Every structure is written in C-alpha cells, then in structure tokens.
Structure 1
Amino acid sequence: MRRVAVEPRPDWQAQVERLGFAFHTIDGETYWDESAAYAFTLEEIERDIETPTGEIEQLCFSFIERAIDDDAILTRLAIPQPQWALIRDSWRRGDRNLYGRLDLAYDGKGPAKLLEYNADTPTALFESGVVQWDWLEQAMARGALPPGCDQFNSLHERLIAAFAALRDPSPYRLHLTCVRDSAEDKGTVDYLQDCAVQAGLDARFTYIEEIGLLSDGRFCDGANLPIETLFKLYPWEWLFRENYADALATSRCQFVEPPWKALLSNKGLLACLWEMEPGHPNLLPAFFEGDPGCSGLGPRHVRKPLYSREGANIALIERGRVLDSDDGPYGAEGYVLQDAAILPAYDGNYAVLGSWLVASQPCGLCIREDTTPITKNSSRFLPHYIEP
C-alpha cells in the first residue's frame, strides 16, 4: 500500500459532473481529490481487506444471534425497549440487508483493524462504485497509470443484483428517502434509485419529511401512495425516537436497511465483539465506558458515543489529554472506549479504508483522508487501484 501522486484531469470537475457527481466540492472545500491515489497489491486486497471483511461480517451475525434475546445487551446498546420486538421479528424473518461499510485501519502490512461498522446509513457509495472506476479507466487511457491496473470494486453490479433479490418472488414498489438539504445524502439515494430501476423495480423518491401515516396504519408518500418497501438513508436510532415510532412495527412496511441493522450500527458493537472474541487479530480492545476492562487499554485511546456519525463527538485521548476531537450532538446514550489504531500517515495525511459489503459480501474499497487522525464529514475521498 502506498500513496502515489497523480496528475488530476484538467477538466476533472466536468468529468465527474457528467456522471451526476454534484457534491465533489463541499462548502468550497475539495471532497473528491484525484491529486493522489492509493496503490495496492492484489495480495493486500484479498488477504488483508476482503477476507477479514467477510470474517467480521460473520462475527457480527454471531453477535446478533447472541444479542437478540438478551435484554441486558439491548439495554447496554441503549436500544429503546418498545423497539426490541421490531428488531427481533426482523431478524427472525430473515429480512434482507442491502449494504454496509467497515472502516478499517491498515498500513499495508496488516492485520487490518476494525474502527467501526457503518451498517445502516453509509454514504460515499456513488463515488466508490462509479466515480473512482471511471477515474481508473481514464487514468489508464491517458497514461497516468500503467495498463492492466484494476480496482477492488464490484459495487455497482452487486447493488443491482441485491435489489433484484429484494424484488423476488414478485415485483413490488420501492420508495427511497432521505432528509432535505443534504446534497451528499440525495446523491447517494439518487444512485441507489438508479440501481433499483436497473434491477427492474418501480423505484420512487420521497423526502422523509413528506412521509405520512394513513388511517389503516401504513406509511405513505406525499401523494398518499402507500409505502410497501422503504429504503431510508436515515438512522434507526433517529426513527426510534420519532413521533411515529410506535407505527413502525404495524405499518406492514419492509425496511431497508432492516431493523436488526440497528444492533450493528451502534458503537457498542465494538465492545461486544471484543468481549466475544478478545484478541481477535482484526479487532481493537474496546469496552463500555465505566467497565473495569477500560483500565487495560493503552495510554492512547478513542472515546466514541454509542451513536455518532462522521466523527461527531469522537475524541482521541492520550494519558487523559484530548489530542483531537470533533463537536456534535451525540453522547447522551453513553460511550465506548477503544484502543487507538495507528493510522498510516502519508505526507501528513491519515488514511482510513472503507471496505464495502453488499448483501453481506465484500465487494469494494474506498479511502477517506484527513490531516488529523479523526475522519470527519469534511475528509477527502481519494481513489485507489490495484497494481498490475
């Protein structure tokens, strides 16, 4: 694994915009950064990223089997008790999941270490599946990269196949939703809607603020059309606290991601996995704050809220002193403490790898980079390639 300087395309903005990638620059700052790329060997991808990603996913399933009937675990995860039955029923029915992203610390030597699991509402999907692949093809065509390069990237094809599986055994209508006023969220949902259409679904978009409740208990869009299946780029922990949370279980709506994903998108998962598999090569020691086990953590550790998005309210601490942190609205439900991973630094840039799963199968890679060890919503996206 190495960071390689690459000459950006002189018209790169126009090139990514032609794909529909409108949020390449956020608040005047570069988000899509093709002035460099990360190069990997095939062995690094297969041995150190793809294989551990699949193993961690299976470990997560073992955790759900353990947690689903354990009230103590659900309580520690701060899951509202009125939603326990919804989660249990979803798992027992075998509700299908669509996609997720493991964030990993990896230095090219390994083993990769799990930082967190973005299991419910991960973004950076369109740029991972489409934009960086288009960049790779153009980079080879113009001689910026040698011929024969590849990419760990079958995201697009896997998403279409996963949507087709959701359609079986008969076609149905799919709604997709996100909040207003977020270009990144809307761009992600637009891409997923396109994948769903390619899979043969009747896919329709509605903002979450437009969703209502019919007299028969079903959710509906702004035109009062009943919602049968809903992809929601909106976290379960937020839905659980909405005014209509009591209607979730009786709405006859199939949710994507399914309710059981609420157990995996919780940072408490990190402590639970370590309790299950202490010493696992791809896990970092982690404990719920206040657990006696916290005394065994190294002098540098990370304090993470059970619920947090894009680095919010996360603090990097060394011997009681905060080295880096980010503000945000999270933390009321509690925290976990996790040993700090050593992120590789390249010319002052810290890289976090995002390993994608679609229908629980590893199938893609993205890289976010920042000048600090905490990856935030302002961190840049850099493409990658596999050397021939």
Structure 2
Amino acid sequence: MERLAVEPRPDWRERAEKIGFAFHTIDGEPYWCEDAAYSFTAAQIDELDDAAQRLEDMCLELVTEIIEKGDYAPFRISDLACQLIEDSWRRQDKNLYGRFDLAWNGQGHPKLLEYNADTPTALYEASVVQWEWLDSYCAHCDQFNGIHETLIEAWKHFGLWGHQLHFACVRNHEEDFGTTEYLRDTAVQAGIDTERLFIDEIGWNGKRFVDLKAKPITVLFKLYPWEWLLQEEFAAHIRKSGIRMIEPAWKMLLSTKALLPLLWQRWPEHENLLPASFDAAAIRGPKMRKPFWGREGAGIARLDADNAVQEQLPMQGDPGDADAVIYQQAIEMPNFDGFYPVLGVWVVASRACGLGIREDRSAITRNSSRFVPHLFE
C-alpha cells in the first residue's frame, strides 16, 4: 500500500460537475482530491474484500442472536424501536448498503473502526467519480469498485415491481441530496418506478404516509438516520402504516457504536476487531471514547491510559444520551506523508463490493476529510 503523488487534471472541476458531482469542494477547500492516490496490490485488495465480508457476516449473525433473545438493553433504544426492529426482521426486509471503516497500512489485518450501516455517504464519489478518474489516469490499472453494478442488481431483488419507490433526504444538504439522487438513478436503471421528495414533505392522511400528490408512500428510501426519524411526530404511525423502509429498522442494531463492544464480546481476539467495551476500565492503555450515535467523527475523544482527554471533537446537534458511549482501544493510525487514511469498504445487499478512501491531517476522520481515489495493478 502506497500513497502516490499525482498531477491533478487541469479540468477536474469541470469533469466532476459534468458527471453530477457538485459537492467536490467544501468551504472553499477541495473535498475530492487528485493530487494523490493510494496504490494497492491485488492481494491487498483481496484482504480488504475478505475482511469486510467476514465483518458483514458476523454482524448479521449477531443481529439474529440479539433478536432471537430480545436483548436490546445495550442499545438504549425505545420500545417502539424494538417493535419496529422485530417487525422488519420477521418480514425479512432487505437491506441495501453500508460501509465498514477500516484502519490498515497494507500489512497485518485490517481493523474495524466503525460500521456506517444506516445512512453512509461518500457513495457517489466511491462508485462513479473515482472510476471516471481512473479511466483517464491509468487505463491498464484496476480499482476495487463494483459498487454501481452491484447496486443496480440489488434493486432487482427487493420485490418492488408494482410499487413506486420514494427517495427522501433533508433539504438544503448538497451531499445528502447528491447521494440520494445517485441511489435513485441506480433504482431507475434497475427498472423501478421512483419519486423524490424531502423528509419534511412526507405527509400523513390518517391511514398512511403520502407524498405531495397525496399518493401513498408504500416503500421509502430515507437518507435520514433512524434515531432522528423516531424523534419525529409521525414515528408513532410507522407500524400501522405498513410502510417499508430502506434501510430497514433492524439496521438500527448495526448503525450504533454499541455494536463494537458486542462484536468483541461475541468474537474476542478476532483479527479484524479492536478491543471495545461499555466500560472504560476494561480497555488498557490509550483508548477512543465514541458516542453511540455520533457521525463524521462528532463527539469522539482520544483518552490516555488514565482516561484523560487528549483530543475531542464537538458533538453536532442534540447529543441525546450523553452517557451512551463506548470505549475502543486506540491504535496508531496509518500515516502516509502526514495524512491518515480511513479505508471505507462498501457492502451492497451484504456483499463487499468496493473501496473509498478518506484522509485527514488528523487521525480522527471528520466531515471535512478529503476523498482520495485508489488503484491496484
């Protein structure tokens, strides 16, 4: 694994916008970057693929055990959430996608930092944008990137013929809108009838959820976290409405960092896991304190061996249950030329199928961290 210095294409902004990648720059700084690329061997790509697939299989096994036992206490979720989880699992509601964030320098075993299982972003740039870059940069090189084709194929197995699939996200958020529109396009390519709207445009007619045309919403893709959705007024109507959600409610068990200690309890010493616990004293040496529902690094703190805070990122929005945190063993993050990469391996329909890399000068990835393409030969 190497970090290569690359000459950016002079018209990269125009190229990005031509393929619909409008959020290539954030606050005046490039989010999409072409001055570097990460290079892997084919064997290293196989290792990442295998690690993500193992982790996904372990997560599904863990969900099965939790629901069979009805042991939801570690997740600190409401009775309604538990009911929705069991309903969706019993119906065998299909899941679409997720992203495992791994720490790895190309040697040893990739280690799981967290699983973004409900509303992962950085999808379009991982699927389409870096592929377009590779096509012009290195015609004989390859990329761990079957995301687009796997998404289209996955939609065909959701049993949506005869349904209109609504896609919703928050308004005035360019990245979320772009991600949602990309996913809607893959559904259209799979032959599915779609409609788009914003979360605040979803209505309730007393019996079912409806769109702005008063048409029933029977299946909804929502780029909106379950923990936020359950705080909305209409959350009380979800069960009786019969609506199907993508991601399904059972994904709540995977989209919280409470997952990390539970994985470690179930598979202690696993090669792809870091020690994690709900109890700080159980983790020796430096550790990371992570809120259950923090996103994009929000609320994460680095603690020393005596639990003193060395670095902390602020929470965004309502912190919720401030005591809902886990502790994970801190590791020395890979450092390439002063940048710390996080390897995001994508799973679609529970199948590992692609890689997106984000890097930062800080060892904690955050909302402003750069997206950098990759290749292998």
1:323 aligns with 2:315: no
**Structure 1 position 29, deviation (Å):** 1.6
Instruction: State the partner residue of 1:143.
Output: none
Counterparts of 2:53 and 2:217, CA distance in 1: 33
Indicate the SS of the match to 2:120. coil
Out of 301, 304, 308, the position equivalent to 2:287 is 301
Amino acid at match of 2:345: S
Instruction: State the partner residue of 1:355.
Output: 345
Counterparts of 1:65 and 1:196, CA distance in 2: 28
Deviations 1:37-88 (A, max 9, x none): 0000010010x210111111111111111111444x4122111112212101
The within-5 A match list for 1:252-271 is: 252-271=242-261
1:332 aligns with 2:330: no
The within-5 A match list for 1:34-49 is: 34-46=34-46, 48-49=47-48
Counterparts of 1:323 and 1:18, CA distance in 2: 43
The within-5 A match list for 1:1-388 is: 1-46=1-46, 48-71=47-70, 73-140=71-138, 147-167=139-159, 170-216=161-207, 218-288=208-278, 291=279, 294-319=280-305, 320-328=307-315, 329=317, 330=319, 332=321, 334-387=324-377
Counterparts of 1:100 and 1:14, CA distance in 2: 29
Q: TM-score, normalised to structure 1's length? A: 0.94
Q: CA RMSD in A?
A: 1.2
Counterparts of 1:369 and 1:10, CA distance in 2: 22
Q: TM-score, normalised to structure 2's length? A: 0.96
**Structure 1 position 115, deviation (Å):** 0.5
Moved more, 155-164 or 319-328: 319-328
Task: Tell me if the contact between 1:306 and 1:331 (Cα under 8 Å) persists in the aligned partners.
Answer: no
Task: Tell me if the contact between 1:105 and 1:342 (Cα under 8 Å) persists in the aligned partners.
Answer: no
Task: Tell me if the contact between 1:167 and 1:201 (Cα under 8 Å) persists in the aligned partners.
Answer: no
Counterparts of 1:261 and 1:212, CA distance in 2: 24
**Structure 1 position 297, deviation (Å):** 1.6
**Structure 1 position 295, deviation (Å):** 2.5
Deviations 1:314-356 (A, max 9, x none): 1111133323221114352510000013211111110000000
Moved more, 178-187 or 311-320: 311-320
* Alignment size in residue pairs: 373
Extract unaligned runs of 5+ from structure 1.
Answer: 141-146
Amino acid at match of 1:297: I
